[in-house]
Amino acid sequence: MNQKFYYHMLRDDHLRSQVWNWWARLQGQDKTDGATASLRGVRAELRRCHTPDDVLLTEGFRSLWMAVNKEGARPSADMTAWATVAAVLADVRVNAEKPFAAALGSENEKTGKPHVSELRFSQLQKSSDSAEFLRRARRSVALLGRSASVLSLADSVLHWHKEKQGYYPVKPNHRLAVRWATDYFTELSRYQRTP
Protein backbone atom coordinates (compact mmCIF):
# COMPACT_ATOMS: atom_id res chain seq x y z
CA MET A 1 0.00 0.00 0.00
CA ASN A 2 1.38 3.36 -0.99
CA GLN A 3 0.48 5.90 1.69
CA LYS A 4 0.68 9.61 0.96
CA PHE A 5 2.44 11.44 3.73
CA TYR A 6 2.14 15.12 4.58
CA TYR A 7 5.25 16.59 6.13
CA HIS A 8 4.70 19.19 8.84
CA MET A 9 8.31 20.13 9.55
CA LEU A 10 10.11 18.89 6.41
CA ARG A 11 7.87 20.68 3.92
CA ASP A 12 10.75 21.82 1.74
CA ASP A 13 11.87 19.31 -0.90
CA HIS A 14 15.48 20.43 -0.60
CA LEU A 15 15.45 19.93 3.18
CA ARG A 16 13.99 16.42 2.79
CA SER A 17 16.66 15.69 0.20
CA GLN A 18 19.40 16.83 2.59
CA VAL A 19 18.09 14.55 5.37
CA TRP A 20 17.72 11.62 3.00
CA ASN A 21 21.20 12.05 1.52
CA TRP A 22 22.74 12.33 4.99
CA TRP A 23 21.05 9.10 6.10
CA ALA A 24 22.00 7.30 2.85
CA ARG A 25 25.66 8.31 3.33
CA LEU A 26 25.50 7.12 6.92
CA GLN A 27 24.24 3.74 5.70
CA GLY A 28 26.91 3.57 2.99
CA GLN A 29 24.27 3.79 0.26
CA ASP A 30 25.63 7.00 -1.27
CA LYS A 31 29.12 6.41 -2.61
CA THR A 32 29.40 9.61 -4.66
CA ASP A 33 31.87 11.32 -2.38
CA GLY A 34 34.15 8.34 -1.78
CA ALA A 35 33.96 8.86 1.97
CA THR A 36 31.78 5.89 2.87
CA ALA A 37 34.53 3.92 4.60
CA SER A 38 34.68 6.28 7.55
CA LEU A 39 30.91 6.56 7.99
CA ARG A 40 30.58 3.26 9.85
CA GLY A 41 32.51 4.89 12.68
CA VAL A 42 30.33 7.98 12.47
CA ARG A 43 27.16 5.88 12.77
CA ALA A 44 28.64 3.91 15.68
CA GLU A 45 29.56 7.15 17.45
CA LEU A 46 25.98 8.40 17.10
CA ARG A 47 24.58 5.12 18.39
CA ARG A 48 26.77 5.31 21.51
CA CYS A 49 25.31 8.68 22.50
CA HIS A 50 22.82 8.57 25.37
CA THR A 51 21.43 12.09 25.18
CA PRO A 52 20.95 14.76 22.50
CA ASP A 53 23.66 16.77 24.29
CA ASP A 54 26.10 13.90 23.66
CA VAL A 55 25.08 13.90 19.99
CA LEU A 56 25.88 17.60 19.62
CA LEU A 57 29.57 16.76 19.94
CA THR A 58 29.69 14.20 17.15
CA GLU A 59 30.86 14.40 13.57
CA GLY A 60 27.59 12.83 12.42
CA PHE A 61 25.53 15.62 13.94
CA ARG A 62 27.83 18.32 12.54
CA SER A 63 27.50 16.96 9.01
CA LEU A 64 23.69 16.82 9.29
CA TRP A 65 23.47 20.29 10.86
CA MET A 66 25.70 21.81 8.19
CA ALA A 67 23.62 20.15 5.46
CA VAL A 68 20.29 21.45 6.77
CA ASN A 69 21.60 24.82 7.94
CA LYS A 70 23.68 25.98 4.98
CA GLU A 71 22.20 29.46 5.09
CA GLY A 72 22.75 29.69 8.84
CA ALA A 73 19.10 30.60 9.26
CA ARG A 74 18.12 27.89 11.71
CA PRO A 75 17.99 29.04 15.32
CA SER A 76 20.40 27.35 17.71
CA ALA A 77 17.32 26.28 19.72
CA ASP A 78 16.66 23.74 16.94
CA MET A 79 20.01 22.00 17.46
CA THR A 80 18.66 19.62 20.11
CA ALA A 81 15.86 18.54 17.78
CA TRP A 82 18.29 17.91 14.93
CA ALA A 83 20.66 16.08 17.30
CA THR A 84 17.77 13.78 18.21
CA VAL A 85 17.03 13.26 14.51
CA ALA A 86 20.67 12.29 13.90
CA ALA A 87 20.73 9.82 16.80
CA VAL A 88 17.42 8.14 15.96
CA LEU A 89 18.14 7.89 12.24
CA ALA A 90 21.51 6.30 13.01
CA ASP A 91 19.50 3.34 14.36
CA VAL A 92 17.42 2.93 11.18
CA ARG A 93 18.92 0.36 8.80
CA VAL A 94 16.10 0.03 6.27
CA ASN A 95 13.80 2.74 5.00
CA ALA A 96 10.14 1.69 5.24
CA GLU A 97 7.16 3.07 3.38
CA LYS A 98 4.62 3.45 6.19
CA PRO A 99 4.56 6.63 8.24
CA PHE A 100 6.36 6.14 11.55
CA ALA A 101 3.29 6.08 13.82
CA ALA A 102 1.43 3.73 11.45
CA ALA A 103 4.40 1.35 11.54
CA LEU A 104 4.30 1.40 15.35
CA GLY A 105 0.68 0.25 15.24
CA SER A 106 1.20 -2.30 12.48
CA GLU A 107 0.83 -5.97 13.29
CA ASN A 108 3.81 -7.99 14.40
CA GLU A 109 3.17 -11.21 12.50
CA LYS A 110 4.85 -13.32 15.20
CA THR A 111 2.63 -12.07 18.03
CA GLY A 112 -0.50 -10.77 16.30
CA LYS A 113 -0.07 -7.57 18.35
CA PRO A 114 1.21 -4.12 17.40
CA HIS A 115 4.97 -3.72 17.10
CA VAL A 116 4.75 -1.10 19.84
CA SER A 117 2.09 -1.49 22.54
CA GLU A 118 -0.41 1.27 23.23
CA LEU A 119 1.33 1.90 26.56
CA ARG A 120 4.76 2.37 24.95
CA PHE A 121 3.19 4.47 22.21
CA SER A 122 1.60 6.74 24.81
CA GLN A 123 4.84 6.96 26.80
CA LEU A 124 6.75 7.96 23.67
CA GLN A 125 4.36 10.84 23.00
CA LYS A 126 4.41 12.02 26.61
CA SER A 127 8.17 11.92 27.06
CA SER A 128 9.16 14.64 29.49
CA ASP A 129 12.34 15.79 27.77
CA SER A 130 14.56 15.23 24.73
CA ALA A 131 16.70 12.58 26.40
CA GLU A 132 13.65 10.49 27.35
CA PHE A 133 12.16 10.97 23.90
CA LEU A 134 15.41 9.85 22.27
CA ARG A 135 15.55 6.72 24.43
CA ARG A 136 11.92 5.81 23.73
CA ALA A 137 12.16 6.59 19.99
CA ARG A 138 15.25 4.36 19.71
CA ARG A 139 13.42 1.58 21.53
CA SER A 140 10.50 1.95 19.10
CA VAL A 141 12.83 1.74 16.10
CA ALA A 142 14.40 -1.40 17.60
CA LEU A 143 10.92 -2.94 18.01
CA LEU A 144 10.34 -2.23 14.30
CA GLY A 145 13.42 -4.28 13.47
CA ARG A 146 15.40 -1.11 12.62
CA SER A 147 13.08 -0.51 9.68
CA ALA A 148 11.29 2.85 9.63
CA SER A 149 10.38 5.61 7.23
CA VAL A 150 13.40 7.88 7.44
CA LEU A 151 11.65 11.11 6.45
CA SER A 152 8.47 10.42 8.42
CA LEU A 153 10.55 9.66 11.52
CA ALA A 154 12.68 12.79 11.10
CA ASP A 155 9.54 14.90 10.57
CA SER A 156 7.93 13.42 13.68
CA VAL A 157 11.02 14.02 15.83
CA LEU A 158 11.20 17.66 14.71
CA HIS A 159 7.45 18.08 15.22
CA TRP A 160 7.66 16.65 18.77
CA HIS A 161 10.43 19.10 19.67
CA LYS A 162 8.59 22.06 18.15
CA GLU A 163 5.48 21.32 20.21
CA LYS A 164 7.64 20.77 23.31
CA GLN A 165 8.89 24.33 22.76
CA GLY A 166 5.26 25.49 22.90
CA TYR A 167 4.59 25.89 19.18
CA TYR A 168 1.34 24.07 18.50
CA PRO A 169 -0.41 24.09 15.11
CA VAL A 170 -3.64 26.07 15.11
CA LYS A 171 -5.63 23.22 13.63
CA PRO A 172 -5.98 20.43 16.19
CA ASN A 173 -5.75 17.74 13.51
CA HIS A 174 -2.25 19.01 12.65
CA ARG A 175 -0.95 18.41 16.18
CA LEU A 176 1.45 15.52 16.55
CA ALA A 177 -0.63 13.64 19.12
CA VAL A 178 -3.65 13.68 16.79
CA ARG A 179 -1.59 12.75 13.71
CA TRP A 180 0.17 9.91 15.49
CA ALA A 181 -3.01 8.60 17.14
CA THR A 182 -4.82 8.65 13.79
CA ASP A 183 -2.02 6.73 12.06
CA TYR A 184 -1.46 4.28 14.93
CA PHE A 185 -5.10 3.38 15.61
CA THR A 186 -6.06 3.30 11.93
CA GLU A 187 -3.34 0.72 11.43
CA LEU A 188 -4.41 -1.16 14.55
CA SER A 189 -8.02 -1.32 13.33
CA ARG A 190 -6.91 -3.17 10.18
CA TYR A 191 -6.25 -6.38 12.12
CA GLN A 192 -7.72 -6.03 15.61
CA ARG A 193 -11.33 -6.88 16.18
CA THR A 194 -13.39 -5.53 19.02
CA PRO A 195 -14.81 -8.22 21.33
Tell me what pLDDT residue 38 has.
Answer: 58
Per residue in 161-193, pLDDT tens?
999 998 888 888 889 999 999 999 999 999 987
Query: 156 vs 35, 150, 195, CA distance in Å?
Result: 29, 10, 32
Domains of the chain by residue range: 13-190
State pTM to two decimals.
0.91
Buried-exposed string 29-64: b where 16+ CB fall within 10 A, e elsewhere: ebeeeeebeebeebbebbeebebbebbbebebbebb
- In CATH, what number does 13-190 get? 1.10.520.40
Average pLDDT over residues 33-62: 87
Query: 33 vs 4, 66, 110, CA distance in Å?
Result: 31, 16, 41
Average pLDDT over residues 34-42: 69
